[in-house]
Structure 1
């Protein structure tokens, strides 16, 4: 009798875990929102770096696109780190 009770308890635990995993599985909307967030945290630093670099190039005499290229690269690096840390925290 003890063996049957232990087997029934194990099966019940497995069923509970499977139901919990099914409830917590991300749906299509959640995955779409996550991908959109990844895109934003990648693109916004790049756009910000381009805008700030262009503005600095326009007010400072000298090389025409030095700040733009430098801050574009900096924005790309920041965007990649943002995506990496967002994926690691998920």
Structure 2
């Protein structure tokens, strides 16, 4: 499959970040203790959306990023290529 040059991908996907994280990871990112995170999850006032998978809580990465105030912007493939060329010291002629 060939990709069109004007396609874009989420910033988080470029760096291979997971689609979701466990409650421990989310709590650490949000600077919450684990006991506080579980308490808030059970009360329904965790800082970002949670979902329950079996007995565990998981947080989708976009929800965690939103809770942290980080925008998961879409990046054009052309910009990724240009950034890689710039980082390697190549200049466009």
Normalized against structure 2, the TM-score is what? Answer: 0.27
Larger relative strand fraction: 2
Higher helix share: 1
Instruction: Work out which of the two has the higher radius of gyration on C-alpha atoms and give 1 or 2.
Output: 1
In the superposition, the TM-score normalised over structure 1's length comes to 0.27
Q: Which has the higher contact order (CA 8 A, sep 6+)?
A: 2
